[in-house]
Amino acid sequence: MDALNSEVARVLYEYPFRVAAPNCSTHCNRETHTLRQVGHRDAERSISLKHVQPEKVVGVSAAHPVLDNLKIPKASSSIRYQSLAESKNYLLEKFPEGFYGQRFSSEERDYKVQAHEMAVELLNSKGLQSLLAASEYSEICARALKLVNATNLIFPNEKMALKDGLAEPKAKAMFAKVLDEMLHGQGAINDRFSSFTNVLAEIGADKWTTASYFLFFFKPCL
């Protein structure tokens, strides 16, 4: 589970005990057994009160960066947030055996494992260092694009943007060097990632799916 999903899961778990944030107005609908809040930046959220006993909290204890920054446009005000239990049931309806069942493996896990193995084969430190020493920037870019095309996690138009952005020799050299540095460098990962995204912006391929793709598959446990 990625960091954002982990954070959302934690919020869902804690939410029954965090029903009021500073400067929020809270409205309880006893007929539908739901609670709805409107926050200080028009953030809205609602939860079911069927299985919880809400306790109002204020001040620092009520603040949370995820809950305080929910943005729900009026056109989508019918969106309902699910409890963790409801989310688990939704998952189990499609994958009765859970995360380690055969269906989940075949539909969601196996191809990602294969892409990880491809990433290790194509973008390992020894291989990239050898190619960089020979100024084989085109080969490094070709390997990166091969990995990108191995899954459907990047939208087709974003794949094309990366391919088009790597058309010029200068762009290929920049990308190859910064990709190696991000994956194998010794500096702080935040700095290395920022350098990578800066190059993506320069070549017109700065989408979050592209930016996070290579680290996700090369170092999925990072």
The DSSP code sequence of the chain is: --HHHHHHHHHHHHGGG----TT-EEEEETTTTEEEEE-TTS-EEEEE-SS-------GGGG--TTGGG----GGGTT--PPPHHHHHHHHHHH-TTGGGSHHHIIIIIHHHHHHHHHHHHHH-HHHHHHHHHTT-HHHHHHHHHHHHTTSSSS-HHHHHHHHHHT-SHHHHHHHHHHHHHHHH-SS-HHHHHHHHHHHHHHTT---HHHHHHHHHHH-TT-
The verdict on 88 and 110 lying in the same domain is no
Angstrom distance (rounded) from CA 92 to CA 101: 10
The verdict on 62 and 115 lying in the same domain is no
The verdict on 35 and 9 lying in the same domain is yes
**CA contacts within 13 A on the Cβ side of 166:** 25
Q: What's the total number of domains in the chain?
A: 2
The verdict on 113 and 23 lying in the same domain is no
Please determine, for residue 201, whether its predicted confidence score (pLDDT) is greater than 50.
yes
**Mean pLDDT, range 57-61, rounded to an integer:** 79
Check residue 21 and give its pLDDT: 38
The verdict on 9 and 84 lying in the same domain is yes
Q: Is the dihedral of CA 185, 189, 191, 196 positive or negative?
A: positive
The verdict on 142 and 184 lying in the same domain is yes
Q: What is the pLDDT of residues 83-100, one digit of tens each?
A: 888 889 999 999 999 999
Domain end point (choices 39, 59, 94): 94
The verdict on 83 and 132 lying in the same domain is no
Domain end point (choices 68, 94, 120): 94
**Mean pLDDT, range 72-84, rounded to an integer:** 64
The verdict on 113 and 153 lying in the same domain is yes
The verdict on 70 and 131 lying in the same domain is no
Domain end point (choices 46, 61, 94): 94
pTM (whole model) above 0.75: no
Q: What is the pLDDT of residues 116-162, one digit of tens each?
A: 999 999 999 999 999 999 999 999 999 999 999 999 999 999 999 99
The verdict on 38 and 116 lying in the same domain is no
The verdict on 109 and 204 lying in the same domain is yes
Confidence of residue 59 (pLDDT cuts 50, 70, 90): confident
Distance of CA 163 to the CA centre of its chain: 22
**CA contacts within 13 A on the Cβ side of 63:** 7
What domain range includes position 214? Answer: 100-218
Q: What is the mean pLDDT of the chain?
A: 80
> Measuring CA to CA, how many Å separate 86 from each of 67, 80, 181?
19, 11, 42
Residue % of the chain over a pLDDT of 70:
68
The verdict on 81 and 137 lying in the same domain is no
Residue % of the chain over a pLDDT of 90:
59
Start-to-end CA distance of the chain, whole Å, equals: 11
